[in-house]
Each structure stands twice: as C-alpha cells, then as structure tokens.
Amino acid sequence: MTNLSPKIVIVDYRTGNTNSIKRALDRAGYLSIISSKVKDVAEADKLILPGVGHFAKAMANLGDMRDALNEAVLIKRKAVLGICLGMELMAAMSQEGNMPGLRWLEAEAIRFRVSTATRHKVPHMGWNRVQIKKTSALMKGVDDLSEFYFAHSYHLQINDRSDLLTETEYGIPFPSAVERDNIFGVQFHPEKSHRIGVQVLKNFIEM
C-alpha cells in the first residue's frame, strides 16, 4: 500500500464484528484500523459501521463518536458503509430498544414478521440473493441475483424508495442494500460472503 491509500476506520462501538471485517480487508490488501476514538473518526477517509449486536446498546456506545460521525458524513461528506446492524443504525429509529438512530436515512429498523413461519425462520440466516435496483459503484462487478450471507432479525423499512439499492426476498421483500449520496448500507455481511463480498468491500474502498 502507498501513502495515497485511504485511511479506513472501522468504528468500534463494542458490539460489532470488527475483527472479521478487518481480516477481510487485510486479505484484500487494504490497511484499516479499528477505533473508538473521535480523532480517528474525524481523520478517516472511509468509515465502516460494523454489524452484529443490539441497536439501542450500539447507539448508546457510540457516545461522543456520534457528533464526529455526523460531521464526517453529513458535513464533510465522507463515504460510510454500514454493515447489517451498522446499516440499521443509519435509520431514524428501531423497534429494538428506545434509542434514536443516526437519522441519516428516512427509515426505521423493524423486526421480521413473516407469514410462512415454518419455512422462514427468524433470524434470517444463510445465503440469499440480492436484486439490484439501480446502478451503483458499490455493486460494480456484482451480477444481479448474486448470493450474499445474511444474519439478522431486523431490516430497514425505507420511506424514500430512491435510497433502495438492492432488494431481497425472505417471506417479504426487504432492502438488502441502500445508497444515498455518500451513505451506503448493506444488510448482508460482505466479510462473510467470499469473493463477491470482497468485491463489494473493494468497490467501497476504491470509489
């Protein structure tokens, strides 16, 4: 890597799968750090909000980083990628706890309510297809209906359909990826999705 490489910060709010994301980036040849320091968030070129955990606990653990994230993403317009829970944190609120979200998206995180309960278990775990709904640099080199790995009980309900990047069917259709300007979110786990997941991470870092 050279000095021109972006500074990638995986935000540590003590509830995400930070190490698996860092290992995936390491294998792809990208330097990154895991940090909960406001200074590192402020100095980052690219930010990743990791997945796994409880919405309200994650929001509470962000603490002072919330202001730093808002400045970096909303004012300085730095690119941010939310993964699973990290994507849900971008919503205004969640049914999982009583903490407000980051409010970067006009959305709410809601729990799966699937009618065919015997076939569709909650949490939704395993491989599933994504249907690409609009052209995006994040999905460069990714074929429509590619399969990614999911592990979640909640999903976004978005009010602005122009934010929808990919959609997945699990009893109901739900947003599996979103994009608004410099804000990107994926409900699936690219770090667990083998080659195609690495492609998504690569696209985010290099866009």
| Catalytic residue positions, numbered | 84, 189, 191
Distance separating alpha carbons of residues 162 and 160, to the nearest angstrom: 5
Nearest Cα to Cα of residue 13 among 42, 53, 43: 53
Hey, which residues does 167 pair with through a beta bridge?
131, 175
- Contact criterion met (CB below 8 Å) for 206 and 79: no
Distance separating alpha carbons of residues 12 and 50, to the nearest angstrom: 8
DSSP conformation letters of 174-186: EEEEEEETTEEEE
Nearest Cα to Cα of residue 164 among 99, 107, 124: 107
What is the chain's alpha carbon radius of gyration, rounded to the nearest angstrom? 16
Distance separating alpha carbons of residues 123 and 197, to the nearest angstrom: 20
Secondary structure of 80-138 in HEC code, one letter for each residue? EEEECHHHHCCCCEECCCCCCCCCCCCEEEEECCCCCCCCCCCCEEEEEECEECCCCHH
